[in-house]
Copies of this chain bind each other. A is one copy, B any other.
Amino acid sequence: MAQTDTVTRILDTAEVLFAERGFAETSLRTITSKAKVNLAAVNYHFGSKKSLIQAVFARYLDPFTERFHGVLDELETRHAGGVIPLEELLESMARTVLEVPAERNSLKVFMKLLGLAYSQAQGHLRRYIQEEYGSVFTRFTELVRRATPELPDAERFWRLHFVLGTVIFTLSGLDALRDIAEKDYGEHVSVRDLIRRLRPVVVAAMNAPLPEAPVTDRAEAS
């Protein structure tokens, strides 16, 4: 089937280029020429560039959410009725994130895309991801809530986003950081090595003491 071949080749090429340069900076002509398909193929198979971008994300996020739901199912039945420990939840998520892209491409690309989706703030992409895949994240946070009853809801919300920032930021900027680290410390770091370093930091962040009592809140800067 030639169709599948063309579609796959477009997606494979697009995700790499998107990750390297960003969405707006990657033209359809660059994608199609490097993928050795016709320029019109993108609009024919995907409808528009915007849909192509979403398709690139869907190819990562669809397997991830499906698998992660399965992992959470298994975790919940194993701790039937009880509370799943925080570290186990984090471990499961990390493992799932690691497994999914390993099947096809590199984790680096996936993380870079996630980082872009968050910073390339505007409109359609963040909304698309939120509305399409928000349910898994909601389920996960609910489990985290039960695992950390001592944390106020708002505090837990922010800390989850703190560690999310750590992971996405680090792994999406991995190449540049790795170059610096290698130059300065002569040490080559693999993704698995980085995750090994991340684990105690993330756990410590989630278990950090609560901030001092909120001072009388004055008007803010922004």
User: A67 an interface residue at 8 Å Cβ cutoff?
Assistant: no
Question: In the complex the two chains form, is B204's CB within 8 Å of A208's CB?
Answer: yes
| Closest-CB distance, A87 to chain B (whole angstroms) | 13
| Chain B min CB distance to A172 (Å) | 7
Q: Is A201 an interface residue (CB 8 A)?
A: yes
- Please judge, given known A-B contacts A25-B24, A185-B153, A214-B196, whether A119 and B121 are in contact too, CB under 8 Å: no
- Tell yes or no: A3 within 8 A of B by CB: no
Task: Kindly provide the distance from the CB of A161 to the nearest chain B CB, expressed in whole angstroms.
Answer: 6
Shortest beta-carbon distance, A72 to chain B, in Å? 20
B201 contacts A208, CB within 8 Å? yes
Contacting residues, chain B, for A80 (C-beta < 8 A): none
Which B residues lie within 8 Å of A181 (CB)?
154, 157-158
Task: Point out which of A154, A210, A215 has the most chain B C-beta atoms below 10 A from its C-beta.
Answer: A154
Q: Can you give 24 contacting A-B residue pairs, CB < 8 Å?
A: A20-B121, A21-B121, A22-B122, A112-B119, A112-B121, A119-B172, A119-B173, A121-B176, A154-B181, A154-B187, A157-B184, A157-B185, A159-B197, A159-B201, A165-B167, A166-B169, A190-B217, A190-B220, A191-B220, A192-B220, A196-B211, A199-B211, A201-B205, A204-B205
